[in-house]
Amino acid sequence: MRLGLSVLLLSLTRSCWCVPQQQTCHPGDEFLGRCSNSVAGDTPTCTELNLGYCNDMEYSSTIFPNILGHQSRLDAESGAEYLLLSVIHGLLNGECSPEIRLLGCSVLASPCKDGKMIKPCRSTCDALRKDCAHAFESIDMAWPYFLDCDRFFASDQEGCVDPLAGLKARQELDMSSHSHDEPSTIIQFIYTSNTQMYNLLKRTAAKCSQISQVYSIGRSTEGRDLLVIEFSKNPGQHELLEPEIKLVANMHGNEVLGRQLLVYMAQYLCSEYLLGNQRIQTIINTTRIHILASMNPDGYELAASEGHLLNGWTNGRTNAQNLDLNRNFPDLTSIFYRNRRSSHYRIDHIPIPDAYWFGKVAPETYAVMKWIRSLPFVQSASLHGGDMVISYPFDFSRHPQEERMFSPTPDEQVLKQLARTYADAHETMSNNDTERCGANFYRTRGIINGALWYSFAGGMSDFNYLHTNCLEITVELGCDKFPSEAELYPEWKRNKEALLSFMESVHRGIKGVVTDLDGNRIKGATISVRGIKKDVTTAEDGDYWRLLNPGTHILTTTAKGYSRVSKRVYLPHNLNKAGRVDFVLEKVPIEPDIDDYLFPTVDTWERFDPYNQFERFGEPDAREGGIERQQKPWWWNYFSQSGISPPNWLLRSV
């Protein structure tokens, strides 16, 4: 693509980027009356607009010579500027179309009235150049010279025409045609390439910079950004007691509907917030939302190259290393089953086994794990395709030999309600139609325990549940993994309310702050609920969130070196926001416990890639500064971090 673009631009430069040699006065200067190229007898007159790419302008007559000095329609059509307009849509991957073409046409064929040319408005040019700067930067292309806003455009005071006025009027008419209950945001329901997706998300964040930002959590195997767009009243910062949620799609590259829905949702949140939609403003002002539209952009690239009709069931499913990302996370579920009856081991916030790092860890998996660990996510949804159902953990069967076995987590009822929230708000997922996609799950109204459906280890949802506070559901959006573009808008209508309801559902259960007697917030305190063997921990600022169903709950909070405090809490059925329950702990002497040494749990959670195994995957065996880098043995960090000296026989082996 870049090579073809370079050849095109080079040919344009060699052919006719410059003005005709016989002219001594530039057309722009001539228009301003500074000089003249006119030959005696030349009289500019209005003529019918008949320029192929410009025949849909809002006016019907133009004038030659035009602003660029073309003496006739044939001169204009043979110029480099007209050629560029004919390919600009493809060069920019569909971005800024048709605006750029309409703006260019207003220069090549400006409107004519009473024998006089009316120049296009400089304000329109300035605004479009600002909006489209990212599109040109993405292909390393400069803003076209013949769209120089200062040189070829006029101010409002001088009298000018807005070449985009008709387009804007049609868009406003489309918006007004919606009823008050329908969204007034206009979204283009088409598939986007990776480049288009990045540009669209960046453009959306720039449009709503007061509530949005984009950031990268890493790169794919082939170097593509794993780009997240965030929405919050204070983007980039964690607000005390504000819950954080994440939406992830396109984990399997050929399951593309979720990717598009999340791109549309980002546009919708931004636009509706600016339009004053009270519901959207409430969601964004009270929640920090993170959207990763494509976790596997490399796989998508392969699937998209084959398109909707040719794409098979598995083409593009894996990443560029041929790894299934939803089988690539640490298998903590087996550890849970093995240790659940032992009082010595934690069955929540389970550390990542050291052995995991000696396997093949995908860069996409590594990036998402670091992301999950770095933010206090409360709940999450992973969007997939291939059926229509909501599944929830555990995904791995409690009996390894059983492919389909009900395998509940301690939070079975809470996760079930979370799944129910999405399924019931979806247009068709929970209905009784036995002929539709997903009809196998009509008896359970569109939800199922993951392992009861089919069992697999190394999934992202189980990892979220067992390694962090986050509760994640898996949303299977439909039987067609790569639906046609004609289906994108209907699918948006089916899922929009479900996605919004899911975001709102994070505001239930309880939340609070844990402090000491002096008001200092305590990080890492545990909050347990009687009857649910899954604790949550406080974040950096000492705040916590615990998703719970209505009813009476007994909560207990403690931290190392602090007292234990319990409270009874009643959550009514009609409570539409999380209840506030704070705890104040008193410092107490720390008593040595042999179990802390024999069964380490808490401290080992912080060990992430302790032997730099992932980093070493990408490091070439090269010399740095002429000195060969010596790798430390695999056991080095273990002894360094534990404070225990390695035995002499092990040291002699180095």
Which residues are known to be catalytic? 476
Whole-number Å distance between alpha carbons of 32 and 7:
35
Q: Give CA 621 to chain center in angstroms.
A: 35
For the chain, how far is it from start to end, CA to CA, in angstroms? Answer: 50
Residue type at 633 in one-letter notation: P
Query: CB–CB of 450/460 below 8 Å?
Result: no
Cβ neighbours of residue 80 closer than 8 Å, sequence gap 6 or more: 12, 13, 15, 16, 17
Per residue in 602-639, is it b (16+ CB within 10 Å) or e — as a string? eebbebebbbeebeeeeeeeeeeeeeeeeeeeeebbee
Whole-number Å distance between alpha carbons of 348 and 336:
8
User: How big is the CA angle at 9 (ends 8 and 13), to the nearest 5 degrees?
Assistant: 120
Which of 246, 244, 242, 258 shows the shortest CA–CA distance to 472?
Answer: 246
- By CB atoms closer than 10 A (0-12, 13-18, 19+), residue 189 is middle
β-strands 45-48, 61-64: how paired?
antiparallel
Which of 531, 535, 498 shows the shortest CA–CA distance to 419?
Answer: 498
Cis upstream peptide for 98 (omega within 30°):
yes
Query: CB–CB of 365/492 below 8 Å?
Result: no
Which of 506, 510, 337, 327 shows the shortest CA–CA distance to 409?
Answer: 337
Whole-number Å distance between alpha carbons of 609 and 353:
9
Query: CB–CB of 543/241 below 8 Å?
Result: yes
Whole-number Å distance between alpha carbons of 154 and 316:
50
Whole-number Å distance between alpha carbons of 62 and 47:
5
Tokens of 305: 């190259």
Q: For residue 154, what are the β-bridge partners?
A: 121
| Gyration radius (Cα) of the chain, Å | 30
Q: DSSP characters for 212-278?
A: EEEEEEEE-TTS-EEEEEEE-SSTTSPPTT--EEEEEE-SSTT--HHHHHHHHHHHHHHHHHHTT-H
Whole-number Å distance between alpha carbons of 233 and 381:
22
